[in-house]
Structure 1
């Protein structure tokens, strides 16, 4: 007769689990990442507010506009100076580079990348380029994780566990979204769901989010007062909205993957100074409306506060113009090989598409005005999922950002339709896998 083990034979000795050690280090990574990313976010937010003061002033004082252009030229030189020695690590969001590191195809000098990404990211985003903070924040967190790994995790000197935890903490701190930070790590970066990874990553993400409370408080970073559930009669229309969103997401990927090829034809200026093109093109946009610049939370907030009782055809035309400006501006900025993320630009376009759908549904009598904000949130999630190829992260991230779960079911339906449509057209299931292929890291 086989022996039956008792609880004492099956349970671990108290305090002996290796997860305790990893989780403790994950918390340390999260605390440091939250403080660094919180400062990074704070500087960007206040600088973009400052632009709403500077641009109206320059609009009426052309001498200061000339001085601003000179300052932009200096910034272009500084970006090139900082990025060029570690160009492979610093260009773009940094997520493809982290995937290469986790696959053993690349190595990173964490300290050099950390401080250079921090400063060059500010120089890129603060003047108003259509780039997001989340990419640099993810890479900053990963650098901090690697640094902690090297100094404190002597049991496994070659482990990349804390680097992965730092990536989750970075995204969590960027958007005050700890669950989405962990899910994005598992869904997109590591493709692993082991307790050894997700538990320390969750500890790091929560710790990082708590640190951002010191800078921004506990309110969701893109709070939308959503208190409306869509009526059933709208659900059939989600099919059409999802298909259109998926088509635009496919076009977004198509253009994004052609950027390097297009920029090779721009030989008038040396490649290291290509950032001058989007930085100068941002100036006329800022003179028109500085709230359009940047990632941009400001633009989503502005669109969310639109009055739907005014001339709605003109409002639709404005939204379509904003979609075109943001689409083209994002491509020009991201293609110039500067540090910056793609999350927020995608969210902005998605919010504009959702706003367009919302206005049409409101004035067709299918939803009341309170459903307008619901459509904005759903548009953000659907376009992000279809473009990035991360449907679970999209739903969680938008839900945590806006601070509401009222829209989860219709959002999930719309996300699925948009995601499936883009894949059916030939979009890559993972945006960052495709970008990683284009970077040609050696196996």
Structure 2
């Protein structure tokens, strides 16, 4: 008869100890890189909120600022010249291609160029997320350490690259669980212990660095009041259907951007950034808080929608904000620049949540204190349907906002939106973007 000592592993000899320790190192370095990246972006955007009101009153400085943005575009074009394929967009499709053996990543040049390139376009206010560059930079850190420091075998190189992905997202949003779930649900689509253990080790240490350097406040704190009354199921169903339909529209337009930008013949692809950079000026003069990813804008529209203004006026303003954010998010992402889509999607989801929440409150279909729950649910469902990653969406919004609210509405609406997008023919967005890049034809 076998005893416990015959079945259990030998003490102090875990199978994955080396990988866990290596993952922790990847997370520490990724956390430091991403914390600096976040700090620069956050403080630069605060400067923009002061700069544009000043520019409104001193139009004389418009010409120098236009020249400054043209210089940024020129510098970015030089950065993109040799590594355009690796530097444009979020970097997630490129990471997926590496893990599938379709592509090779030059980790050091991509790491520093993504860092600088991301700052050049996100800091002036383009509607791009910081998380895409953070994910790719984390992958580069993991791959670089695996090759140069740990001298890992090819399989373990991919494992540490994956851990860097989780660490990058964890540090971008101070959301370690979401970082790991995103890796498992969206990229590796597997739940092997050595993958998630290494990734969790990296995500935790990366998040620790953000806590040290940036503080412990959730990156998008929402104070949602608890309520015992359940939102009507038919309301949640309609909300999920609407969000699923709009998620499909987002995917369709995003995947047509390369085709649309290809019609611009007078400007080389690597200098397409000049278009959205110059468009930031009228947008900033109209409302500077609309610029950027942007956590600040979500807080702004939530506060705006709760200030008791006339319902129709608020609804019209939020609708205008949604159109501007949707169109300029596409203009920004399609311009062959480094930047992600996570935060732009969440901003659109928050705007939809405000619009739905105000309407439902106005007609007495929900209680006023359930308004913020609708905003939270809308962000999660819209994001989960577009990314085709519902578990990541639910956990990410929970960690970002520091609030779970009612679990059932969150899960139910996200599920409905996901299914609707699936029925319409939607695809996991990064998989679709990778296929559009067609790495199989690149040698």
Length-normalised TM-score, structure 2:
0.97
Deviation for aligned residue 1:63: 1.8
Q: Tell me if the contact between 2:84 and 2:270 (Cα under 8 Å) persists in the aligned partners.
A: no
CA distance in 1, matches of 2:270, 2:340: 18
SS, match of residue 262 in structure 1: helix
Q: Tell me if the contact between 2:231 and 2:409 (Cα under 8 Å) persists in the aligned partners.
A: no
The change in CA–CA distance for 1:405 and 1:371 in structure 2 (over 3 A counts) is: same
The change in CA–CA distance for 1:157 and 1:253 in structure 2 (over 3 A counts) is: closer
**Alignment partner, residue 421 of structure 1:** 420
Q: Unpaired runs of 5+ in structure 1?
A: none
**Alignment partner, residue 373 of structure 2:** 374
**Alignment partner, residue 317 of structure 1:** 316
Deviation for aligned residue 1:308: 4.6
Q: Tell me if the contact between 1:308 and 1:369 (Cα under 8 Å) persists in the aligned partners.
A: no
**Alignment partner, residue 27 of structure 1:** 24
2:164 to 151, 163, 166: 166
CA distance in 1, matches of 2:151, 2:282: 53
> In the TM superposition, what are the counterparts of 1:19-418 in structure 2 within 5 Å?
19-159=16-156, 160-229=158-227, 231-306=229-304, 307-418=306-417
Deviation for aligned residue 1:197: 0.5
Deviation for aligned residue 1:224: 0.4
Aligned-residue Cα RMSD (Å) equals: 1.3
Write the deviation string for residues 86-130 of structure 1: whole angstroms up to 9, x where unpaired.
111110000000000011111111110000000000001000000
SS, match of residue 83 in structure 2: helix
The change in CA–CA distance for 1:208 and 1:296 in structure 2 (over 3 A counts) is: same
Q: Tell me if the contact between 1:26 and 1:204 (Cα under 8 Å) persists in the aligned partners.
A: yes
The 10-residue stretch of structure 1 (93-102 or 356-365) with the greater mean CA deviation from structure 2: 356-365
Deviation for aligned residue 1:148: 1.3
CA distance in 2, matches of 1:198, 1:140: 19
The change in CA–CA distance for 1:157 and 1:425 in structure 2 (over 3 A counts) is: closer
CA distance in 1, matches of 2:98, 2:12: 32
The 10-residue stretch of structure 1 (111-120 or 358-367) with the greater mean CA deviation from structure 2: 358-367
* Runs of 4+ deviating beyond 6 Å: none
Deviation for aligned residue 1:350: 0.3
Write the deviation string for residues 288-333 of structure 1: whole angstroms up to 9, x where unpaired.
1110000011110001212352211100001100110011001111
Q: Unpaired runs of 5+ in structure 2?
A: none
- The number of residues matched between the two structures is 439
**Alignment partner, residue 437 of structure 2:** 439
